[in-house]
Structure 1
């Protein structure tokens, strides 16, 4: 038997406040058995902080967020002046949390599109910047996430791809997938005073020179 626990968390990035809905699924009586797909991971905070410090990346731009979950970076992008933000996740059901967070922030729903997108699939709309927080969670998904990034970069040569991931094992790396898809990654220094982010990496991914 599972129990859903919903909470609202507030985050502040400079003069911009964002509230998001978290939903934890407790499985049985064991508190350690939690479904955490709608939890704000450190990677999302690092990515949102970077966008807040580099507003020109999203100002007036078409933004795509992969694996949106709680959608913290995507919500902030609209507050930073993005022209349009597309939030994607694996299914319509997975996007219900994002809908709630849009309403919680009183944001104009017309500035958002919410669309199912399976990793590994192509995305044909025009994109100026792709953001993805902690999509490299499961090593079994690495190849599919990189494939989608590669397809979007192929269709949108000027697109910026900014992603964060939390290193959970030294035995897994996205480099082989990047090499196969002829992509390269550049690490971007980052800082956050609120959380421990020593094992969170901020990367810009681009096509090989």
Structure 2
């Protein structure tokens, strides 16, 4: 395979990272007209996005079909000399195979879980590619009402912050607990790339915990470093949920994490009770919480409750880059997302 120019390589790498995160096709950064007619660029797109024999995980067939349709259209649109420019045979063969596959119903698609690969933002040439694999459905809401089977913007925002040197310093070498972990994206990123000593991944839904356990293995994580556990707020955190407790010493953590935890004002008292428990009995020093401010009154109720309970809430100055400048953990910034550091 021909070597891509540095510019074309950067364009393809960006497209690939977005594609495996299942970014909507109309938001993908497709290479320019001059680049996409280049046979080497087309070959790289096929090998890195559509070659089923060499790739895992790979997006659902319906998503691949939509993306490939758009790419083929862009190539056709960019061809100025039909005698010299053409579409790669491998891409056309892949298209033929995809369009002949049976199409699942909308309900079947909504109920299907897919492995999604997130790529962390990169700061420059030479930095390792840091990825995390989750199991998600963008359309699945369980009968209990949980929306935990997808990674929401506030988690991607907090992951973007933690991927910076300043953010990483808050968790590296620390004992961490995540509340309302959902897909487990943040905890697995911390365990895989940010050097936490240990992290407990908690959620109230057994189905989510089972999914996280599967993804811990898929990410080749050390199970002694990351432990999924069911935790219903308001109930004690059972020490028996920790897999390596031999000494009989009480559990403690340094940092707690949470993202998009407060979507209903009725949850505020439970979360505050849980925070008091973590500070009093598990000795955490700080709680990092990110929230998408869809309803400012709801989050303000949380901040007011923190003040009433003698917690200090400091808004971190970090802001995610705008969508067009993101290089990983792609997410919308149309609605403000804020991260607060809660201490005593």
Q: TM over 0.5, yes or no?
A: yes
Distance (Å, rounded) in 1 between the aligned partners of 2:151 and 2:293: 16
Q: Scaled by the length of structure 1, what TM-score is found?
A: 0.85
Partner of 2:306: 178
For structure 2, which runs of at least 5 residues remain unmatched after alignment? 1-106, 123-127, 238-249
How big is the shift at 1:156? 4.9
Residue 114 of structure 2 corresponds to residue 7 of structure 1:
yes
Residue 199 of structure 2 corresponds to residue 199 of structure 1:
no
Partner of 1:140: 266
Partner of 1:72: 185
- Structure having the higher helix fraction is 2
Q: Deviations over 1:104-144 (max 9, x none)?
A: 21111221222211123354620011000111122211221
Distance (Å, rounded) in 2 between the aligned partners of 1:176 and 1:68: 24
Residue 223 of structure 2 corresponds to residue 109 of structure 1:
yes
Segment drifting more, 116-125 vs 87-96: 116-125
- Structure having the higher strand fraction is 1
Contact 2:272–2:306 (CA under 8 A) maintained in structure 1: yes
How big is the shift at 1:103? 1.8
Residue 140 of structure 2 corresponds to residue 25 of structure 1:
yes
The higher relative CO (CA closer than 8 Å, separation ≥ 6) is in 1
Distance (Å, rounded) in 2 between the aligned partners of 1:82 and 1:59: 5
Contact 2:162–2:168 (CA under 8 A) maintained in structure 1: yes
How big is the shift at 1:61? 1.3
The 1:43–1:82 alpha-carbon spacing in structure 2 relative to 1, beyond 3 Å, is: same
Segment drifting more, 65-74 vs 122-131: 122-131
Secondary structure of 1:82's counterpart equals coil
- Give 1 or 2 for the bigger CA radius of gyration: 2
| Number of positions where the alignment pairs a residue of Structure 1 with one of Structure 2 | 201
Q: Deviations over 1:79-123 (max 9, x none)?
A: 211111101111433311211221221111221222211123354
Contact 1:129–1:159 (CA under 8 A) maintained in structure 2: yes
Distance (Å, rounded) in 1 between the aligned partners of 2:178 and 2:141: 27
The 1:126–1:8 alpha-carbon spacing in structure 2 relative to 1, beyond 3 Å, is: same
Distance (Å, rounded) in 1 between the aligned partners of 2:207 and 2:269: 24
Distance (Å, rounded) in 2 between the aligned partners of 1:19 and 1:98: 10
Partner of 2:160: 49
Distance (Å, rounded) in 2 between the aligned partners of 1:18 and 1:93: 19
Where in structure 1 do 4 or more consecutive aligned residues deviate above 6 Å?
A: none
For structure 1, which runs of at least 5 residues remain unmatched after alignment? 28-33
Q: Scaled by the length of structure 2, what TM-score is found?
A: 0.54
1:166 aligned residue (282, 292, 299): 292
Secondary structure of 1:108's counterpart equals coil
The 1:165–1:182 alpha-carbon spacing in structure 2 relative to 1, beyond 3 Å, is: same
Distance (Å, rounded) in 1 between the aligned partners of 2:141 and 2:255: 35
